[in-house]
Amino acid sequence: MKCKVCKGPAVMDIRRHNAAFCKPHFLDHFRNQVARTIKEFSMFTSDDRLLVAVSGGKDSLAVWDVLIDLGYDATGFYLDLGIGGYSTRSKEAAIAYADAKGAKLIVRSLAEEHGYTVPELAKLTRRVPCSGCGLNKRYEFNRAALEEGFDILVTGHNLDDEVATLFGNVLHWNVDMLGRQAPVLEEKVVGGATALVRKVKPLVRLAERETAAYALLTGIDYVIEECPMVEGNTQHRYKEAVALLEESSPGTKNHMYFGFLNRVRHRFGDEDENFELVPCAGCGAPAARWDAAAEPVCSFCKTKRLALGRKQQ
Ligand code: FES
Ligand code: ZN
Ligand code: ZN
């Protein structure tokens, strides 16, 4: 296996590109793919302040690393979900990376901010852990970005994540979700002020295997173990199904995702006309109002009220 660029010995092959690379040319390729994605989707400029949602895993640390190397003003944000030793170790990985790179990292904890951890929330609400986890992460990332004055929220979603989500949305014909699946989610203004910060996914051109290789080759010490609460996560099964298809025909993931973006997505609206977004009566975040007579409460506040109510019983 020879490097496509210099013909030296390759360390990494990428079958969907029909190419292999030596270490320096793979790292170049990786950074170029990120830079190309940022430009192609006009994600942000060097004047913007970026907040990177960091989990301690390979994807979020890799995207943070590339953004810093490309010269962007990128601060990390770690949210401690209170998932036992897994959270402790992932927090340590995020802090160790920030220290080694001399990067700024904001750390917050769900228990300190709201009075529950993800496992407690799952028990109290009697829902699968990932549902409360996802809701709280989205809410807290956005809140931190608004409070700390960031322009852009960056996440480490890669091609595999996006294809698995797309696959799930198609299997269930979640048309609303299909309309909102994109590498950039625009800022939302509610009641005259920014309520949802612009969200971007600069890794959508890179597969999970490539982000792992990037982290490994650059010496980023990331948490390899998976979240112990992953059982029951359907996204995980979709990933496995898509991986099987990719194995027998390389390029499937790329075709599915970029084919959707370029040829199909515009057919789905990205706004649901059945409700309007208004400030939540509890916290001011955007809440969907279906019925003008009802008090608007966002889904985060509804879940929090339910959980804390049951906790007091
Ligand atoms: Fe769903 Fe961790 S809570 S994977
Ligand atoms: Zn080379
Ligand atoms: Zn609210």
Looking at residue 158, what is its pLDDT? 98
In 3D, which of 194, 162, 183, 203 has the Cα closest to residue 43? 183
Q: Domain span at residue 65?
A: 33-312
Tell me if 2 is assigned to some domain.
no
Tokens of 114: 């709201």
Looking at residue 39, what is its pLDDT? 98
Tell me if 80 is assigned to some domain.
yes
Which atom of ligand 1 lies nearest, measured to the CA of 132? Answer: 3
Looking at residue 300, what is its pLDDT? 95
* CATH at 232: 3.40.50.620
The answer to whether the CB of 83 falls within 8 A of the CB of 137 is no
Q: Which residue has the tokens 């036992």?
A: 84
Q: Which ligand is nearest the CA of 55, by number? A: 1
DSSP secondary structure letter of residue 269: -
The DSSP element (H or E) to which 187 belongs, if any, is none
The answer to whether the CB of 191 falls within 8 A of the CB of 279 is yes
Q: Which of 137, 230, 234 maximizes ligand 1 atoms within 8 Å of its Cβ, making it the mutation to test the pocket?
A: 230
Tell me if 19 is assigned to some domain.
no
Q: Which of 133, 223, 239 maximizes ligand 1 atoms within 8 Å of its Cβ, making it the mutation to test the pocket?
A: 133
Tell me if 21 is assigned to some domain.
no
Q: Which ligand is nearest the CA of 11, by number? A: 2
Model's pTM, two decimal places?
Answer: 0.94
Tell me if 114 is assigned to some domain.
yes
Tell me if 17 is assigned to some domain.
no
Which atom of ligand 1 lies nearest, measured to the CA of 228? Answer: 2
Which atom of ligand 1 lies nearest, measured to the CA of 230? Answer: 4
* Distance between Cα 4 and ligand 2 center (Å): 7
C-beta of 118 in contact with ligand 1 (< 6 A): yes
Tell me if 41 is assigned to some domain.
yes
Q: What is the pLDDT along the chain (313 residues), one digit of tens a residue?
A: 999 999 999 999 999 999 999 999 999 999 999 999 999 999 999 999 999 999 999 999 999 999 999 999 999 999 999 999 999 999 999 999 999 999 999 999 999 999 999 999 999 999 999 999 999 999 999 999 999 999 999 999 999 999 999 999 999 999 989 989 999 999 998 888 899 999 999 999 999 999 999 999 999 999 999 899 987 778 888 999 999 999 999 999 999 999 999 999 988 876 666 678 889 999 988 888 777 778 889 999 999 999 999 988 8
In terms of Cβ atoms closer than 10 Å to its own Cβ (0-12, 13-18, 19+), residue 204 is buried
**Tally of domains within the chain:** 1
Task: State which residues have CB under 5 angstroms from ligand 3, the bound ion.
Answer: 280, 282-283, 285, 298, 301
**What span, in angstroms and rounded, lies between the C-alpha atoms of 224 and 81?**
17
- Looking at this protein, which amino acid is placed at residue 97? Y
Packing angle, helices 23-40 and 208-217, rounded to 10: 130
C-beta of 82 in contact with ligand 1 (< 6 A): no
Looking at residue 209, what is its pLDDT? 96
Tell me if 142 is assigned to some domain.
yes
